[in-house]
Structure 1
Amino acid sequence: MSAQNHGTEGRRSVPRAAARGTTLADPMLQSEHVFGTFPLLKNERTWSALDFTWVNTALAIATWAFLVGGSTALLVGFADGIAAMLIGNAIGLCIMVLASVVASQRWGSEQYTLLRGAFGVAGVGILVFTVILVTEMGWSSLLAIMAGRATSQVASTIAGAEFDQYGPLVTVGGLVAIVLAWFILSRGPVTIGRFNSVIAPGLAVITVIMMVFLVVNTSWDDMMTASPIAPFENETLNFMVAVEFNVGVGVSWYPVMGSLARMTRTRKAAVWPAYGGLLIATLVAQIVGMAAALTLGDSDPTVWMVPFGGAVLGVAVLIFIAFANITSMSSIVYSTILAIRQSSGNLLARVPWKLLTAAFFVLPAVMTFFPQFMYEQFIVFVALSGAFLASVCGIALADYFVLRRQRFDLRQLHLGQHGTLYAYPGGINWAGLVSLLAGAAFYLWLYNPITLETQPLFLIITASLPAAVVSAVIYLGLSALLNRKRPTEVR
């Protein structure tokens, strides 16, 4: 029996048993494919290419994209910034899409279950409860704070008073955003997709409007001739750090995309909307943010949208942007909660979905009380998370395309430690974990975002792509050394 047949048999056996009478004994099985870790059957995949494009567009044009553009403007001018963002995002998204979207769409399973071969059941748990959890809580905190800033600006316009951009109203708005994101998230991915199908086109139109406002209120010449805000003395270093920063942004989609891509009907409906949708939408929003930062000194549209657009239009845009951040939070947290649930074994399997999602938002809620810290440490956060996520992508690519030749046994994956193919001593594949640490260490040797120390090699190859390659090569070598006697399929 082929690996795919094994997987289909294992996937279908539980729901069919439920249909024969176990539904009353365990009603959670009916929604396990949505709120749990069962892979999706073809008739359970509801997103077309257009649906997935809207989801990705809504994710990409959240206000973090404007902040990325503004952060890029710290290092390079407008023309170099466009080049750095294009190169960086193209590389980062390519690594990310190949490492997550391709396999998840084919097998209908989120990427964390598919990583059991590379890391082991307990190893995936270690990865999820450290790298993934910290990364996604950080992004959720940032989105909530930016929604809070939009709320504060709206209140300032209506009241005719000036409020602190990091004041208590930002915290209140962020907390309200978290509550609304939790409500949308509790309804599941179909509801998230419906909201994004409305939000995404509106965001695209609003982003174009913002660019028009910038050109009209400043000038194209001002944008093209504006100097970087806080560059290093070495121009090559400025450009390469900007490229690396944007590679990290592209790779940062890894924790989200596999879980979302499994909802698509075909591979084309997953791969091209994931790559093209994120690339184009991200670049447009980042260019607006960069242009605003270079000409106005601030990339955040919550600061300049009302003065440029007027009270009515400006407030309407800010409200829409705030809600877009809320739907983005819902999308990224959905994937993370699936990862947490499957990585915890029986510990969280029966915790209600609403309670589990509410627990995730506790730390982001706390971080809304420190909005200035989140803004000031943004570049460092993206770089550090990118160091580990690039290494994860490298290992995932090596495991899926080289070691397993694009084949999984879904039944064995879900048996985990109770099976044979993906059961490792102690639940850990040390080849995966050691390779992850080696790749991240190589990244931080090439480029340390905290101390800003770099190696001469960084000016040629940056850090994320080399980290992915190093982790992949080490993983294949250690797998040949440590796991050479392990079976690759059930006999």
Structure 2
Amino acid sequence: MNASSRNGSRQDIEQAVASEATYGSLPLLKHERVWGSADFSWVTISLAIATWAFLTGGSTVLLVGFTEGISAMLIGNSVGLAVMVLGSVVLSQRLGVEQYRALKSVFGVVGVGIVVFTVVLLVEMGWTSLLGVMFGRAFTEISNQAFGSNFAPYGPIVTVFALAAILLGWFVLSRGPVTISKLNRYVAPGLIVIVVLMMVLLMSQHSWSDLIEASPVAPFENDQLNFMMAVEFNIGAGLSWWPVMGTLARLTRKPKAALWPAYGGIFLGTVVAQIVGMAAGLLLGEADPTAWMVPLGGPILGALTLLFVGFANVTSMASIAYSTVLAVKQSSGGVLDRLRWPMLCAAFLVLPAILCFFPAFMYEQFMTFVVVSGAFITPICGVIIADYFIVRRQRVNLRALYASGSEDPMRFTGGVNIAALAAVVVSAIFYLWIYNPITLETQPFFEYATASIPTIATGMVTYLGLNYFLYVRHGLGGYREPDTFAINRKK
């Protein structure tokens, strides 16, 4: 074999390895981490100022007024995002490993599959379909304004545009994270401008006193209960980033480039957009920005603004789906390895496309969806934090994440960490006992402690006890083994 053939073969191997790192489960090398702080900040801000942030703010006014709503948003997002970052970003970024491969150290390889196919897949499909429906409603409103049509807000045309959004999302997603990053460099600044513009237009037509004095739409008689429900709702909104953020964070070059954009970028973008959505909900009586942007901005400016926000939902959809498709591929046990990346993405988007045929259901159950998702994500994060920070002390055997069979120190019980899954189930039941988002029944201490905070504590304590009894004291789970791969690299 001559030199040129060897060089060509080596380049082919390097490209294959890089592709597997980006679209598979191999750790990313330093030069393969494509995002700096600015890149990841634009990604997180763009994700945060999607239409759902306006809708979250508008939904908050069902319970509280403007000043109480701001407090609920600040408290809820601060808590939810802090737990989310500790439960996803730190672990994946440090290892450069796809989030659900890294979580083998917590749940076991089979346990991760159970989490992905029962919680992550359903939650992210719900968010993806919701983004599609929002896109559909936005373009339906634009069509009504531009052509004088009278399409219904939940009619068939909404579904048609929603399916078009999913097709666009697939096109962006199939081209990988670099394309997503490039688009977000333009989308995120534009969204910031739009948010400021909408608030200026809103306050130019209403006084500050009107906003402060506006009453919540459908509160309970108990003001403290209203406030804590609003806080809990916003905690759930913050936690909802957990399924995607770890995988995105591994593409960053340094820990600081992941930690602060993941927390600060989402916090800033979410709260600012939520405040605008909340103000519009109180003053205009509409929580959905697709309904109030055109009346507020006028037929031209409002339509152009809605057009931009609609397309921003597509980049958000692509970012969500990238992490979820990787999770599904990683958790399939090799079954999906032969499918090309574009085909995997298309397969994931099938169920969100079906859900787009029920746009009214997706909107009317939005608050319930967010809180129910939080009921399961909260204990998952609690278990991860307990395992990574307390039991493993931030040291994970990288080689063990890829081991299998009898040589796998993280095989636990048949590939399942029974302690982790049991702690999640027990804590989720505990959450739903404290606060049932369907019936809205609560326990008395919910008014002072929320449901998420006691659930995190319960999940951590339950896991630490069960895990020690089942695995740690027997030397199982790879908790005491040094990372020989890391030691050899240092040598």
TM-score (norm 1): 0.94
In structure 2, do the counterparts of structure 1 residues 53 and 418 end up closer, same or farther at CA, with 3 Å as the change threshold? farther
Q: From 158, 171, 174, give the equivalent of 1:186.
A: 174
For the residue of structure 2 that corresponds to 1:425, the secondary structure is: coil
Q: Counterpart in 1 of 2:373?
A: 385
Number of residues of Structure 1 aligned to a counterpart in Structure 2: 474
Q: Counterpart in 1 of 2:108?
A: 120
String of CA shifts for 1:9-38, please: whole Å, max 9, x gaps.
Answer: xxxxxxxxx989588799754400111111
Q: Counterpart in 1 of 2:315?
A: 327
Q: Counterpart in 2 of 1:406?
A: 394
Give the deviation of 1:195 after TM superposition: 0.6
Q: Which amino acid counterpart does residue 143 of structure 1 have in structure 2?
A: L
Q: Counterpart in 1 of 2:331?
A: 343
Q: Is the 8 A contact 1:78 1:291 kept in 2?
A: yes
Provide the rounded CA distance (Å) in 2 between the counterparts of 1:83 and 1:25: 53
Q: From 46, 52, 59, give the equivalent of 1:64.
A: 52
Give the deviation of 1:349 after TM superposition: 1.4
Provide the rounded CA distance (Å) in 2 between the counterparts of 1:122 and 1:287: 42
Q: Counterpart in 2 of 1:294?
A: 282
Q: Is the 8 A contact 1:290 1:299 kept in 2?
A: yes
Q: Counterpart in 1 of 2:123?
A: 135
Q: Counterpart in 2 of 1:478?
A: 466
For the residue of structure 2 that corresponds to 1:465, the secondary structure is: helix
Q: Counterpart in 1 of 2:487?
A: none
Provide the rounded CA distance (Å) in 2 between the counterparts of 1:478 and 1:307: 57
Q: Which amino acid counterpart does residue 344 of structure 1 have in structure 2?
A: S
Q: Which amino acid counterpart does residue 130 of structure 2 have in structure 1?
A: L
Provide the rounded CA distance (Å) in 2 between the counterparts of 1:71 and 1:339: 30
Provide the rounded CA distance (Å) in 2 between the counterparts of 1:65 and 1:71: 10
In structure 2, do the counterparts of structure 1 residues 311 and 482 end up closer, same or farther at CA, with 3 Å as the change threshold? same
Give the deviation of 1:186 after TM superposition: 0.2
Provide the rounded CA distance (Å) in 1 between the counterparts of 2:115 and 2:365: 23
Give the deviation of 1:308 after TM superposition: 2.1
Q: From 237, 241, 247, give the equivalent of 2:225.
A: 237
Q: Counterpart in 2 of 1:397?
A: 385
Give the deviation of 1:301 after TM superposition: 1.9
Q: Which amino acid counterpart does residue 60 of structure 1 have in structure 2?
A: A
Give the deviation of 1:109 after TM superposition: 1.1
Give the deviation of 1:74 after TM superposition: 0.2
Provide the rounded CA distance (Å) in 2 between the counterparts of 1:19 and 1:50: 35
Q: Counterpart in 1 of 2:216?
A: 228
Q: Counterpart in 2 of 1:284?
A: 272
In structure 2, do the counterparts of structure 1 residues 417 and 147 end up closer, same or farther at CA, with 3 Å as the change threshold? farther
List gaps (5 residues or longer) in structure 2. 1-5, 485-491
Provide the rounded CA distance (Å) in 1 between the counterparts of 2:14 and 2:207: 63
Provide the rounded CA distance (Å) in 1 between the counterparts of 2:220 and 2:301: 38
- Aligned 1:344-359 pairs, distance under 5 A: 344-359=332-347
Q: Is the 8 A contact 2:55 2:289 kept in 1?
A: no
Q: From 19, 23, 32, give the equivalent of 1:35.
A: 23
Provide the rounded CA distance (Å) in 2 between the counterparts of 1:230 and 1:19: 68
Q: From 344, 360, 363, give the equivalent of 2:351.
A: 363
Q: Is the 8 A contact 1:122 1:427 kept in 2?
A: yes
Q: Counterpart in 1 of 2:422?
A: 434
In structure 2, do the counterparts of structure 1 residues 51 and 422 end up closer, same or farther at CA, with 3 Å as the change threshold? same
Give the deviation of 1:347 after TM superposition: 0.7
Give the deviation of 1:250 after TM superposition: 0.4
Provide the rounded CA distance (Å) in 1 between the counterparts of 2:10 and 2:436: 54
Q: Bigger CA drift: 27-36 or 314-323?
A: 27-36
Q: Bigger CA drift: 219-228 or 171-180?
A: 219-228
Give the deviation of 1:423 after TM superposition: 1.2
Q: Bigger CA drift: 305-314 or 341-350?
A: 305-314
String of CA shifts for 1:427-478, please: whole Å, max 9, x gaps.
Answer: 1110010000011111111100011110011111101121111111111111
List gaps (5 residues or longer) in structure 1. 1-17
Q: Which amino acid counterpart does residue 136 of structure 1 have in structure 2?
A: E
Identity of aligned residues (%): 57
Q: From 66, 71, 76, give the equivalent of 1:83.
A: 71
Q: Which amino acid counterpart does residue 376 of structure 1 have in structure 2?
A: E
RMSD: 1.6
Question: Does 1:274 find its partner at 2:266?
Answer: no
Q: Is the 8 A contact 1:291 1:299 kept in 2?
A: no
The runs of 4+ residues in structure 1 deviating greater than 4 Å are 18-28
Provide the rounded CA distance (Å) in 1 between the counterparts of 2:113 and 2:404: 12
In structure 2, do the counterparts of structure 1 residues 415 and 228 end up closer, same or farther at CA, with 3 Å as the change threshold? same
String of CA shifts for 1:235-288, please: whole Å, max 9, x gaps.
Answer: 110000000000000011000110111111111111111111111110000011
Give the deviation of 1:416 after TM superposition: 4.2
TM-score (norm 2): 0.94
Provide the rounded CA distance (Å) in 1 between the counterparts of 2:256 and 2:406: 34
Q: Which amino acid counterpart does residue 334 of structure 1 have in structure 2?
A: Y
Q: Counterpart in 2 of 1:164?
A: 152
Q: Is the 8 A contact 1:70 1:290 kept in 2?
A: yes
Q: Which amino acid counterpart does residue 120 of structure 2 have in structure 1?
A: I
Q: Is the 8 A contact 2:64 2:215 kept in 1?
A: yes
Q: Is the 8 A contact 1:92 1:251 kept in 2?
A: yes
Q: Counterpart in 2 of 1:458?
A: 446
Question: Does 1:305 find its partner at 2:293?
Answer: yes
Q: Is the 8 A contact 1:116 1:416 kept in 2?
A: no
Q: From 44, 61, 86, give the equivalent of 1:73.
A: 61
Provide the rounded CA distance (Å) in 1 between the counterparts of 2:48 and 2:207: 26
Q: Counterpart in 1 of 2:489?
A: none
Provide the rounded CA distance (Å) in 1 between the counterparts of 2:293 and 2:334: 48
Q: Bigger CA drift: 160-169 or 93-102?
A: 160-169
- Aligned 1:184-263 pairs, distance under 5 A: 184-263=172-251
Q: Is the 8 A contact 2:428 2:455 kept in 1?
A: yes
